[in-house]
A and B are shown apart, each in its own frame.
Chain A
Amino acid sequence: TQLLEQSPQFLSIQEGENLTVYCNSSSVFSSLQWYRQEPGEGPVLLVTVVTGGEVKKLKRLTFQFGDARKDSSLHITAAQTGDTGLYLCAALSGTYKYIFGTGTRLKVLA
């Protein structure tokens, strides 16, 4: 069974702080996505990374795909209360099946 482990599981920080969350696996994936999910809603796609070593930036969010395509990280600079939510990584297994990670629940305090 392929597993995507995310760490940390929970994170509570003050507004303005930086943070990094990780998504790790022993398997190689063709692509990896990051989603954010707010309470009572479905996950919303933030980014897709497909090339080993790829770095993508989305405003204050920086996403990196590991060189070996087994891991990824999400770095948030100067966190805001609006960044609060559940962050999920999802990897494409084979050609069509998505496997979701265990999730990191982030709370940004004002």
Chain B
Amino acid sequence: AQSVTQPDARVTVSEGASLQLRCKYSYSATPYLFWYVQYPRQGLQLLLKYYSGDPVVQGVNGFEAEFSKSNSSFHLRKASVHWSDSAVYFCAVQGTGSKLSFGKGAKLTVSP
């Protein structure tokens, strides 16, 4: 079975500061990994994905994530956050089959 843990349910950072949101996955093989963002009353939007190759993947709006097989992790990073980045961020894993298993999400608040 596949699963995802996001240990930080709420994160507050100052505008312009760097960000890291942590994600740990559980899956026996190398999975497909995703980060999604959800703004209030909207669906999920894909930020970036990892299938194989370079462990650092670039996404939209300056986000990137690094896959680590040894740590079973896929942490999301951004060098400088903007107030518009305030949202809920979900890490997801796709293992066997096509369904996604999501973490509980991390609510990011960017303070002025």
Q: Answer yes or no: do A and B interact.
A: no
